[in-house]
């Protein structure tokens, strides 16, 4: 009996212990489940504002003459004299005689043409007199019928009149050739190049040099279609006195920055097939005189920077430069703290701000901080960089 108790006792204790463990395990409460709340992304935002601006775009171009021509004589002869103004870089006034060609043979041609004209006048008077005599003789005869033009000497008179007109034209041409021996241009300008000297024989059509006007210079400026849209300039635009956009030019001359003012006078009506750019032409009046800056002209051949300002001011939406993404996208935090990815119409950008015509509304909150992965509709927490008043 003792042996049985000693054997069954431990087994009974073990069984009771296992039962208690199973009972406690079955009756213990379920563990409390902890739900992790997603952490919202905090983003810096700024409010969309409005501003009245005169939009400008920057570009570059080369100064060229508005009018540049080759000096080409219309008559041949030996060059007798050259004016001091006809030297490379020299300035001359309108209608100044620059080159004088020997006119002796042309003056003799005038005398000969005048002699021919005098003979033609005499011949015309003779034929008119003959016509008068024949008309009087015919009127004295009766029953002769209607006289023919030859009977009244009319064809001879017409021929004599034609010869006189031709002789007068020859006189005018001979006198004109005398004037053509003095070479001048009808504008104020400067000499770009000179290729002749005194005593040289030149033929009609031989270039003697090249000159350009200084009344105005032109600068051809390349713009993209977007820049043309920013300035509200249509293709084929021709400016008038009250709608020409202002252009400010600048260049470094003699270790100092110089500036000049001009105006856009026209835009090309086509796109350049090589560069896909649209060219506008600016003009500066009197570049070597009143248009110069402190005596420094905007000289032909100079390469200048240009800033073109739109003619009309306009009210636009502005956002910080940091808000613009991928050239035309902006992240907006709506009233439900949800992120909206929007495309906007950008008018202009600068170092610190972006001008927008559409895509956002005044007062909306735009994201200015970096976003690693933006998803349209994601919930965020907006933080203003500066307290809103």
Give the residue with greater pLDDT, 340 vs 327.
340
Query: Average pLDDT in the 40-50 region?
Result: 89
| pLDDT over 50 at 136, yes or no | yes
Cα separation, 107 vs 360, in Å, equals 81
Q: How confident is the model at residue 52 (pLDDT cuts 50, 70, 90)?
A: confident
Q: How confident is the model at residue 389 (pLDDT cuts 50, 70, 90)?
A: very low
The CA dihedral of 287, 293, 294, 296, to the nearest 10 degrees, is: -60
CA separation (Å) from 99 to 76, 92, 207, 213, 256? 13, 12, 12, 17, 39
Per CATH, domain 44-54+314-384 is 3.40.50.280 = no
Q: What is the pLDDT of residue 7?
A: 67
Query: Average pLDDT in the 131-144 region?
Result: 79
- pLDDT-derived band of residue 216, with 50, 70 and 90 as boundaries? very high
91 — alpha (psi -120 to 50), left (phi > 0) or beta? beta
Residue 87 has pLDDT above 90, yes or no: yes
Residues 385, 64: Cα–Cα separation, whole Å: 50
Options 2.60.120.620, 1.10.1740.10, 1.10.101.10, 2.40.50.100; CATH for 68-210 is 2.40.50.100
How large a percentage of the chain has pLDDT more than 70? 90
pLDDT (mean) for 188-198: 95
Can you list the positions of beta strands (E) in 102-215? 182-183, 189-194, 201-202, 209-213
* pLDDT range class, residue 147, cuts 50, 70, 90: confident
Residue 275 scores a pLDDT above 70: yes
* Residue 227 dihedral angles phi and psi, to the nearest 5°: -65, -35
Least confident of 186-190, 304-308, 327-331: 327-331
Question: What are the φ/ψ torsions at residue 360 (nearest 5 degrees)?
Answer: -135, 170
What is the mean pLDDT of the segment spanning 34-52? 80
pLDDT of 250 above 80: yes
- Mean confidence (pLDDT) of the chain: 88
All structural domains of the chain with their residue ranges = 44-54+314-384, 68-210, 215-309
Beta-strand runs (E) in 128-237: 182-183, 189-194, 201-202, 209-213, 216-223
pLDDT tens string 304-315: 999 998 877 778
Give the mean pLDDT of 77-105: 95
Identify whether the C-beta of residue 353 lies closer than 8 Å to the C-beta of residue 320. Answer: yes
Residue 147 contacts by C-beta under 8 Å, 6 or more apart in sequence? 138
pLDDT tens digits, 335-380 = 899 999 999 988 878 888 898 888 999 999 999 988 888 888 888 8
Q: Any idea which fold 215-309 has?
A: Elongation Factor Tu (Ef-tu); domain 3 (2.40.30)
Mean pLDDT is highest, among 126-140, 208-222, 347-361, for 208-222
pTM (whole model) above 0.85: no
Indicate if the pLDDT at residue 290 is higher than 90. Answer: no
């Amino acid at each position: 009996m003792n042996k049985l108790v000693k054997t069954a006792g431990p087994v009974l204790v073990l069984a009771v212990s296992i039962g208690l463990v199973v009972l406690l395990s079955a009756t213990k409460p379920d563990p409390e489940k902890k739900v992790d709340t997603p952490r919202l992304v905090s983003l810096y935002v700024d409010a969309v504002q409005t501003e009245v601006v005169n939009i400008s775009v920057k570009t570059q171009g080369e100064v060229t003459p508005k009018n540049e021509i080759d000096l080409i004589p219309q008559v041949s002869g030996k060059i007798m004299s050259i004016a001091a103004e006809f030297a490379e870089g020299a300035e001359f006034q309108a209608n100044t005689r620059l080159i004088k060609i020997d006119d002796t043979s042309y003056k003799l041609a005038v005398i000969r043409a005048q002699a021919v004209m005098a003979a033609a006048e005499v011949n015309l008077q003779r034929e008119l007199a003959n016509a008068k005599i024949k008309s009087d003789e015919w009127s004295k005869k009766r029953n002769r019928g209607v006289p023919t033009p030859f009977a009244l000497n009319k064809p001879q008179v017409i021929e004599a009149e034609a010869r006189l007109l031709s002789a007068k034209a020859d006189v005018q041409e001979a006198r004109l050739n005398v004037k053509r021996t003095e070479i001048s241009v009808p504008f104020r300008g400067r000499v770009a190049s000179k290729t002749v000297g005194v005593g040289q024989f030149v033929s009609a059509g031989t270039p003697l040099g090249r000159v350009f006007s200084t009344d105005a210079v032109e600068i051809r400026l390349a713009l993209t279609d977007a820049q043309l849209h920013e300035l509200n300039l249509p293709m084929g635009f021709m400016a008038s006195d009250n709608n020409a956009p202002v252009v400010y030019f600048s260049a470094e001359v003699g270790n100092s920055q110089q500036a000049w003012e001009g105006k856009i006078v026209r835009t090309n009506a086509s796109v350049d097939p090589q560069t896909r750019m649209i060219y506008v032409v600016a003009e500066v009046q009197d570049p070597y005189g009143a248009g110069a800056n402190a005596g420094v002209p905007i000289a032909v051949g100079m390469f200048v920077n240009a800033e073109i300002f739109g003619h009309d001011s306009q009210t636009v939406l502005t956002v910080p430069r940091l808000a613009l993404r991928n050239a035309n996208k902006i992240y907006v935090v709506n009233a439900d703290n949800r992120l909206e990815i929007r495309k906007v119409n950008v008018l202009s950008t600068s170092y610190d701000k972006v001008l927008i015509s559409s895509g956002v509304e005044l007062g909306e909150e735009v994201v200015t901080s970096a976003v690693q992965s933006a998803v349209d509709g994601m919930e965020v927490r907006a933080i203003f960089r500066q307290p809103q008043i």
